[in-house]
Amino acid sequence: MTDLHDFFHQAQNLPYGAARTAALEAVVQRADAEAPESTLPFEARIQLTYAYRRSGETLKSFVPFAWCTSAYDADPARYADQTHSFLWAMKWQPATLTSFPEVPMNQAMAVLADMERRFRAGGHSLFAVHQLRLDILQHLGKAEEAAEEYRLWGLTQRDDLSDCAACVPSAEVDYLTWAGRHQDAIRIGDPVLKGQASCSEQPQSLLTHLLPAYVAGGRLDEAASAHRRAYQALRNDRGALGSISSHIQFLARTGNSVHALAIIERHLGWLDAADTPSAEMHFSAHASRALGLLPDDTAVRDHGVIRPAAELAAELAERARALAAKFDARNGNGHVSGLIEGSLSAEAWVEELPLSATARRAAEIRHKATPRPVDPVQTEAPAVDLTPDGLLDHFDARWMAKDREGAALAINRFEAEVAEDDRTLQQAGRLLEANGLMAQRDGLEGAVEQWRQALELLDGVDDLRALRCRGRIGYVLGQLGQVEEGILVGEEPLRRLMTEDTADRRPAWAGRLGVLLIQADRPGEVEQVVGPYAEENDDADERAWAAQVRADAALAVVLEAAESNGDPEAHREGITQVAARYDQAVAAAQVAGGTAEIQALWSRGRFRLFNQPDAEEGAADDLTEAAAQAGALGMRNGNLMLDLLQALLDAGRNEEAAHAGEEADPLVPDDGPERHSVHHLLAVAYDRLGQSETALEHISTRLVLLASSDPEETDETSNSDRAVLHDWRGKLLDRLDRDTEAADAHELAASIFDRIGDRNQQFLNLRRAATSASWTGDEDRSTALREQARALLPRLTEDGAHPAYLTFQEGGLAWDGARAAHHAGRTEVAIGLLHEAERLYRESGQDAYAFDAVVYRAQLGDPVPSADLQAVFESAEEGSGFWRSSGYQLVDALRREENTVAADELQARLDG
């Protein structure tokens, strides 16, 4: 029987989900077989009712609760101690029944009446009864009756069977937004969000209910923040499909259908096992509307199959309408169908509601910023009477004028009008040169091949054009990573072109040579090459590019100097000078505008992010602006969003970082380092936000990527990453009280650290695995893991670990053993180990850890002298949790030593 109770206790400590549900189902089976005369079968079924509801299996919850109702009514005295939990579970039944159209409405109302009868008989408040009746009236669309029920609810006193201090306001806000009383909803909801009230369902439920009120009240930034915060908490909750559908509605009605698409794709598979038909219906309707706002041929991933958005939207609309008809047939009115038709044709609440700082700035650029006067590039077609050479000259002129369309028209006419056999060598070479320029947009390798063919024809025929081809080939080879060959082919031609070509072309050649020199680790030569063109240049784009190349070169020079001489003061001065260069580059780019400004802001942001101390906010601002300007131009770049994600994390703007990461996710390649980076950084963001489940998802994705790229686990870097990720997984699983999984993760991490020779991390993970194992009650495993860790200490000595560190870790093992012994009920053993931990911590100079051991001993009943506790208390920061816990232990010690005056004075101080 003790074993069964322990099993029940362990099941209740699991997080809601499949594991907890399965464990509780097993408890019910065992309780029926092993302890049918006890209250355990009843208690286990109550907990199973909760588990089904919280894990998205609402329909299953009715069976165990019906068993409990029958058992309770058959023998109320037997289950008297379970009355509160029974009535609490009953609160979920009436409104939940209305979520299933196959359940007759009179049955749901009968359950509500039975609940009211029981509450009255027990002398309980009818607060919860009014709340549930209001919910049912909302479902039926009876506005006047709902308003009266809301009034009665507000007049009724709360009691211990009422929902918590966070859930009640959430239900109020739900009604008020339903009734269109948005300001009242905000008035009720805001104080709750500013306070500390929360529970497993809050504040995400309250934030979701507030979305339409915030938008209606013009509080758009708060609406965006509420969406981000709430959805992050809901995204892994299979019982929250209805709430998730409200977020799809919010996105669809605020100009964010693209963002809605990502949520739809993520949860579309949940419709196969929706927690209630009501949730299925609302998700289908809101998803259909969001998809209908996208272009018809937008690709949507549905169960791994790509489908057109319009096709899926129509299918979901039909699904929602069919369910609505069932509800109306049950309810005897047309309210639900009217609601669904409204959802399927819903108008926008606002035209555009930016969800992040980046999106807000992009919207400002599009709608509010005064556009710079820019002379548009006019397409100029070649005149009808041009000769073949005239057509090629027209190409050159329009290409230099950035008139790509006019240039292409000239080449197309040349190819159509001049047969291959009729072309001179120079004309054929010029055509290949032109085709190379136009081919760059499709791939640099193709452009190089065109220019190489052009060289064969132009050498000795048109030396200037041959020189241009060589310069271009050298520059592009550098871009392709073939820097040594690029220098050999291109440096000398580029230097000649800077003096021999026409004046309007020289800045571009200087810029190309500057980039090539930086790539060749010769940044010190760049200033002489590009400096003049960064200062004086009539072409704003060329001046911006030259300033950018000069700044990049200046940074490379400073970094090269830091590696060679390591002078910190010189490095600081150099970084300051480089910062000025990037400021000049941004200023020059702001004159040019467009992509030049985006690139300059991106480059300065990267410099601030990776090279300039204490510039995290500046980096985040630059990269936010760059991403916003790119977005305003319809450009999306995954690498830019990755840099923004990193900068926002460094600046501590974690919520914005998570949003930037979600935007980066679909933009980076499916394989390669960027895919690893986006999932790693998103895991960091969600870890910091306390969203451990979501962080675990991204860590798991990284582990899958590592397995794909290194299936044999032979790459040392990949194995190091694996070890770190499993360690991280263990810590998150521990936070979620998934202790068996945490122990497994840490033990796996320890084995990988062993393989790669990191014995310190191996030792620490064995310690962590042992602690997690102790929380599962597996004392044998916990002890074995701790002994494995202890056996590593001599090997840490071989690795050069400081003796004080080893002593400290010995103290840690004693501390771990004490906690495990205490958890197993062996208090005397725990106290003895705490004495040992205290001694070893003091020997290693870690008095703060020793003080922890002293207080822990006192908490376990060891009669610690007041003098020892006084020293601990005085070391603690006043007002901290440790100050209070050590203080109360000191009070007990003073009373034990009959120093009641000092004890009373200290107690008054602590209580005050």
Residue-wise pLDDT tens digits, 815-868: 999 999 998 889 999 999 999 999 999 999 999 999 999 999 999 999 999 999
**pLDDT tens digits for range 468-488:** 999 999 999 999 999 999 999
Q: Two tokens at 332?
A: 């005897």
Question: In the predicted model, what is the mean pLDDT of residues 77-91?
Answer: 94
Contact 13, 7 (CB under 8 A): no
**pLDDT of 759 strictly over 60:** yes
pTM: predicted TM-score of the whole model, two decimal places: 0.77
Contact 720, 756 (CB under 8 A): yes
Q: What is the pLDDT of residue 15?
A: 78
Contact 479, 448 (CB under 8 A): no
Q: What is the pLDDT of residue 31?
A: 93
| 724 Rama class: left (phi>0) / alpha (psi -120 to 50) / beta | alpha
Q: What is the pLDDT of residue 44?
A: 95
307: β partners:
300
Question: In the predicted model, what is the mean pLDDT of residues 38-60?
Answer: 92
Question: In the predicted model, what is the mean pLDDT of residues 45-69?
Answer: 92
562: β partners:
none
Task: Give the helix ranges, DSSP H, for 368-505.
Answer: 388-400, 404-417, 425-439, 444-458, 463-479, 483-500
Question: In the predicted model, what is the mean pLDDT of residues 613-623?
Answer: 94
Q: Two tokens at 713?
A: 């686990």
Q: What is the pLDDT of residue 371?
A: 45
Q: Two tokens at 515?
A: 């980039």
Q: Two tokens at 39?
A: 């209250």
**pLDDT of 621 strictly over 70:** yes
Contact 602, 624 (CB under 8 A): no
**Amino acid code (one letter) for 157:** Q
Q: What are the distances in angstroms from CA 907 to CA 863, 869, 887?
A: 19, 14, 8
Q: What is the pLDDT of residue 373?
A: 46
- The closest alpha carbon to 251, from 339, 316, 348, belongs to 348
Q: What is the pLDDT of residue 271?
A: 94
Q: Centre a 10 Å sphere on the Cβ of residue 404 and count the other Cβ atoms it contains.
A: 15
**pLDDT of 399 strictly over 70:** yes
pLDDT band at 6 (very low <50, low <70, confident <90, very high): confident
Q: Centre a 10 Å sphere on the Cβ of residue 580 and count the other Cβ atoms it contains.
A: 11
**pLDDT of 583 strictly over 80:** yes
**pLDDT of 902 strictly over 70:** yes
Q: Detail the DSSP E strand segments found in 652-771.
A: none
Cis peptide before 15 (omega within 30 of 0): no
Contact 779, 749 (CB under 8 A): no
Angle at 796 between CA 792 and CA 802, to 5 degrees: 140
Angle at 480 between CA 479 and CA 483, to 5 degrees: 75
- The closest alpha carbon to 341, from 358, 324, 353, belongs to 324
- The closest alpha carbon to 841, from 883, 810, 884, belongs to 810
**pLDDT tens digits for range 284-343:** 999 999 999 999 888 898 888 999 999 999 999 999 999 999 999 999 999 999 999 999
Write down the residue that tokens 């101390």 correspond to: 613
Angle at 751 between CA 748 and CA 753, to 5 degrees: 110
Q: Centre a 10 Å sphere on the Cβ of residue 342 and count the other Cβ atoms it contains.
A: 12
**Distance between CA 424 and CA 445 in Å, rounded?**
26
How does DSSP assign 808-822, residue by residue?
HHHHHHHHHHHHHHH
Q: What is the pLDDT of residue 303?
A: 85
Q: What is the pLDDT of residue 374?
A: 47
Sign of dihedral through CA atoms 251, 255, 256, 260?
Answer: positive
Q: Number of C-alpha atoms within 13 angstroms, CB side, residue 112?
A: 22
316: β partners:
none
Could you tell me what percent of the chain has a pLDDT over 90? Answer: 74
Q: What is the pLDDT of residue 27?
A: 94
**Amino acid code (one letter) for 35:** A
* Mean confidence (pLDDT) of the chain: 92
Contact 473, 451 (CB under 8 A): yes
Q: Directed axis angle between helix 40-54 and helix 2-13, to 10°?
A: 20
Question: In the predicted model, what is the mean pLDDT of residues 591-597?
Answer: 88
**Distance between CA 786 and CA 778 in Å, rounded?**
12
Q: What is the pLDDT of residue 11?
A: 86
Contact 83, 123 (CB under 8 A): no
Q: Centre a 10 Å sphere on the Cβ of residue 462 and count the other Cβ atoms it contains.
A: 19
**Distance between CA 99 and CA 139 in Å, rounded?**
9
**Distance between CA 873 and CA 885 in Å, rounded?**
9
**pLDDT of 442 strictly over 90:** no
**Distance between CA 260 and CA 271 in Å, rounded?**
16
Q: What is the pLDDT of residue 542?
A: 86
**Distance between CA 135 and CA 119 in Å, rounded?**
18
- The closest alpha carbon to 751, from 777, 779, 730, belongs to 730
Q: Two tokens at 38?
A: 């006890």
Sign of dihedral through CA atoms 186, 192, 195, 200?
Answer: negative
More confidently predicted of 304 and 899: 899
Residue-wise burial string across 15-33, b where 16 or more C-beta atoms lie within 10 A, e elsewhere: ebbebbbebbbebbebbee
Contact 239, 55 (CB under 8 A): yes
**pLDDT of 267 strictly over 80:** yes
> Dihedrals φ, ψ of 650, to 5°?
-65, -30
pLDDT band at 1 (very low <50, low <70, confident <90, very high): low
Q: What are the distances in angstroms from CA 94 to CA 107, 273, 629?
A: 9, 21, 52
How does DSSP assign 100-148, residue by residue?
-TTS-HHHHHHHHHHHHHHHHHTT--SHHHHHHHHHHHHHHT-HHHHHH
**Distance between CA 511 and CA 589 in Å, rounded?**
15
**pLDDT of 711 strictly over 60:** yes
More confidently predicted of 191 and 361: 191
Q: What are the distances in angstroms from CA 96 to CA 20, 104, 136, 280?
A: 21, 12, 9, 14
DSSP 754: H
